[in-house]
Chain A
Amino acid sequence: MNQLIKLLTIGALLASTALPALAQDKTVLTMWHNHPEWKDRVEAILAKFEAENPTIDVQLEEISGPQYNTRINTALAAGEAPDLFLLQPGPDTAAAGKAGYIVELTDKLDVTGLTDAATDAATIDGKVWSVPVLGSYTVGLYYQRQIFADAGLTPPTTMAEFHTVCQALLDKGITPMIAPAQDGVIPAFLYMLLSSSILGAEGFDEIRAGTRKFTDPDVVQAAVELRDMYPCFQEGSLGTPYVEGKALFALGQGAMLEGGSADYAGFTETNPNVDLGVVPFPAVAGGKPSTVTGMEGAYAVNAGSEHVDDAVKFLQWMLSPTAAQMVVDTITLTTTEGVLPADNRVMSEMLTAAQSRDVRVFYEFPETGQVMSIIQANAASLFLGEMSPEDFSASLQAVVAPSTL
C-alpha cells in the first residue's frame, strides 16, 4: 500500500513538471466538423498547416452529418464546444453570435480573398462571425457519360429536353434519375434548382425582400416541374435513403443525379471507375440552366477558447491559396477567389456550370431558413398528387419571413 502511494506521488510530481513543458511547445486547437468521409483529405491539409506552424497542433473530430448540429448546439449550450467548429452559416451562426458563444472575427481576420458568395455567407449585418474555409458546394446535374454516349444522348439543358432524355432512357430500361427522396433533402434541392432557374440571384433577393413570392404564377412553374420529374426517379424513390441513392448512382444504376461538388469525392470512393460529367440543372421554360451554391459550413472560434489568436491564425491560413488549392483538388470547390482546380475535371465542369445561373441555397438566409424543411415535408405529397403545385408553393411562401430592408 505504502509503495503504491509513493509511486503515485512520484508519478504525480513528474507529471506536474513534465506536462507544462509539453504544453509549452505546442498549442492544441480542437476542431469539429461534419464530414467523416473527408477525414484523410482534411488531415492532409492540417498536416501542411502544422508543418508550417510547428507550435500549433490542430486536433480534428468528425461527427457524422445528421448528428452534427445537435452535438454542436448542445456543446455550445453546455460550454463544452471545441476551440474551432463548423457552424451552419445563417440562422445558426446568428444565434450563436447573439448568445456570445463565438468570437467576432470582423477585425481579426482578413476575408478579402473570399468569393462573393462566401463573403456574403460569412457576414451577418456587416459583421464577420465565421468563415467558410473548407470549401463551398455547388449543386448541378451529374450524368453518366458512358450511358449518355451509348444512348446517343446529350445532357439536357431544358426541362423539355430532360423529359425527352428521361423517356428515351426509360424506353431502354435505364433508370433516368436517382433521387433518394426519403428525407426530402434531395427534393428540396431540386426545387431550389428549378426555382432558381426562374428567379436568378436577383429574383431570390426579391423573395427574401418579399417583393416576389413562391406563389407568383411563373414561380409556381418550379413546383409543376418538380412534380413532373417524379416518374423519372428510380423505383421506390420516396423510401430511398440518401446514402443508398448516392451509392446506386456511383455504381451506375441511374443516368442522372442532382448532386453537389462535395459529393464527387464520395462517388469516386464508392466506384473509382465512375465516369461522370456535370452540367447546370436544366432550365424551366423561360429560365436559365442553374446551379445553387452553399457553404460547407463556416468555421467559428469559441468565445471560451484559450487560444483565440492561434485559432484565427489557422483560419487565416486556410484562406490562403495553398490551402484553397488542396481543398479544390481533393474535396470540393474552394471559397477562395481565383483558385482553380489543377487536375480535377469534374470540379472544373462544376465551375463552368455555375457560370450559367448560380443562386445561394435558401437555408443560409434567415428569411428563407424555414423553406427547406417545408419542401422536405411536402414534396412527397406533391409527387403523389396529394398536394397541388399551387398549394405546395403557398406552403413555402407561408414560412418566408421577408426582411424589412
Chain B
Amino acid sequence: MANVSLRGLTKRYDGGVVALNHLSIDVADGEFLVLVGPSGCGKSTALKMIAGLEDASEGEIAIGDEVVTDLAARDRDIAMIFQSYALYPHMTVFDNIAFPLQIARVPKAEIKERVAKVAKTLQLEPYLARRPGKLSGGQRQRVAMGRAIIRQPALFLMDEPLSNLDAKLRVQMRSEIATIQKRLNVTTIYVTHDQVEAMTMGDRVALLNGGVLQQIDTPTNIYNRPANTFVASFIGSPSMNLFRGRLVRQGAEATLHLGSQSLAVPSSILADAPDGEIIIGIRPEDLEDAALVPNHPVNQRLRSKVLITESLGSDQMVHFAMDAPMAKVADHDLLDDLVVAEGVGVCIGRFDARSTARPGDIVEVAVASDRIHIFDAATGLAIR
C-alpha cells in the first residue's frame, strides 16, 4: 500500500519523439487513478516508466516514500496487467498465477493455498490445469488479474486490460476490477482510452494529450468543469458541441451570438469572460426539443433545421444545422491548433424519445443556458 508521486516525468525516444512531457501527478494510497487520452498520447509510456520497463529521460518517480526512478522493475513491488495480458503460454493457469510467488521462493504449500484463494475470487478454479491458449478472452483477462493480485503489491498498473473483450464482458469485468481494487485497497493506475471506463472506474481521472497532462480531477468534475476544449470534447458522448461565437454584455444582460442566432445567458456562468470572440460549448444533453418544454424561456432557444435523427430508444440524437463556425479539436491535435470548420456547422442535441422532430423540420431547441461552457477563443482554456 503506497502513494505514488510522479514529478516532471519526461520521456524522449531516440528520434526525438517526446512521448511524455513533464508529467506530475500525485496518487493517494489506495486511490484508483485512470489515465485516459487518445491513442499515442503517452499513456503506456507513462505506465512503463512507472513500472521500470522504460527509463525516464527526466523526472522522478516515488512509490511510498521511496524514490524508485533508478530501481529495476523487479524491485519496485508492482504488479502489471498488460493489454495483451502477456500470459505465459507454456504454463498452466496455475503456474501463471503462481509465477510471482515461485520466483519469490514462497513455500509450495502456501503457493497452493494462495492460488486457490485467488482462483476462487476470480472464478478460475475449473481452469487451473489449462494453458492460456485454451481459455476465452474473459478467462485470460482473469488469469492476468490473478497473477497481479496474488502478490499483494504496492501498486497495480493496468494497461487497457479490457480492450480485447467484447462490450458485454467489458461491462462485467469493469465492475469486477473496480470491486477487487476497492477490496484490496491497492493503489492503482489504470490506462484506458475508453471514456466510459474512465468515468465509471476511477476515483480520479487524468487526461493526457500529446504527452501533456490536460486535467486531473474526479470524473464528475472532469465532465462538468472541463479545463479546456480538448477535455471538453474528449469526455462525453456524443462530444460537446463547440462553436465560435461572440459575447455581448449589456449591463446585467449577456447575449451569446452564434451565427445569426443569439442566446441569453445568465451572467453567473460568464465569470470574467471578456466581451468579443469566445468558444461556446454546449453538451448534447443540455439541448432539448422546445416542444417538450413549453415553459422554456424564449430567449434561450435556437431555431434550426433538422438534418438527421438517430433514435437510441430512450432518447434520440438530433443533428441540426448551425450557421456558426465549429471549433473542432482533433484527437491528436495540441490545444493551440483549434480547427475552425467553414460553412455550416452541425450541432447535436440529445432529445427525449417523445420528440417528433424529423429531418427537414424546423425545430425550436431549448438550451439549458446555465450549463453553457465558455472557452477562450485563442487558447481554448475554460473561462470560469
Establish whether A and B are touching in the complex (CB under 8 Å).
no
Q: Could you tell me which B residues sit within 8 Å of A by CB distance?
A: none
